[in-house]
Amino acid sequence: MRFRRAHTQVLSRDESVRQGRAVRAAHAALGSIDAVRAFLNNPHPALGARPIDLAVASDAGLAAVEGAIAAESRGAAGNAPAASEAAA
């Protein structure tokens, strides 16, 4: 039995770096690999797309994803205010 190779696109160096940053940030904030996979690979309502696609596409997309990860992390921590909000 022969398997067909999936039509995949090789990421550029910059895209790979952004992908790695998104995965590491999600893992640091969310903990479990299952939570990371679910967050990055499913459409996110606030972002309007899959976070991993946005993060890979551009620096602005990565920044938006990192912001969503931080918001998700705060929500998972009982909606604790961000450090900047607590200082205000």
pLDDT over threshold 80, residue 60: yes
- The answer to whether 29 and 70 are in contact (CB under 8 A) is yes
Quote the longest CA-to-CA distance of the chain: 64
Q: Is residue 50 part of a domain?
A: yes
Confirm whether 64 is domain-assigned: yes
Per-residue pLDDT at 65: 97
pLDDT, residue 75, reads: 78
Amino acid identity at 40: L
Residue 12 lies in a domain: no
- Examine residue 45 and state whether it is found in any structural domain, yes or no: yes
Amino acid residing at 12? S
| pLDDT tens track for 26-57 | 999 998 999 999 999 999 999 999 999 999 99
- Domain boundaries, position 55: 20-73
- Confidence (pLDDT) at 84: 41
In angstroms, the CA 18 to CA 54 distance is 10
Q: What total of structural domains would you count in the chain? A: 1
In a domain, 32, yes or no: yes
Question: What confidence tier does 22 reach under pLDDT thresholds 50, 70, 90?
Answer: very high
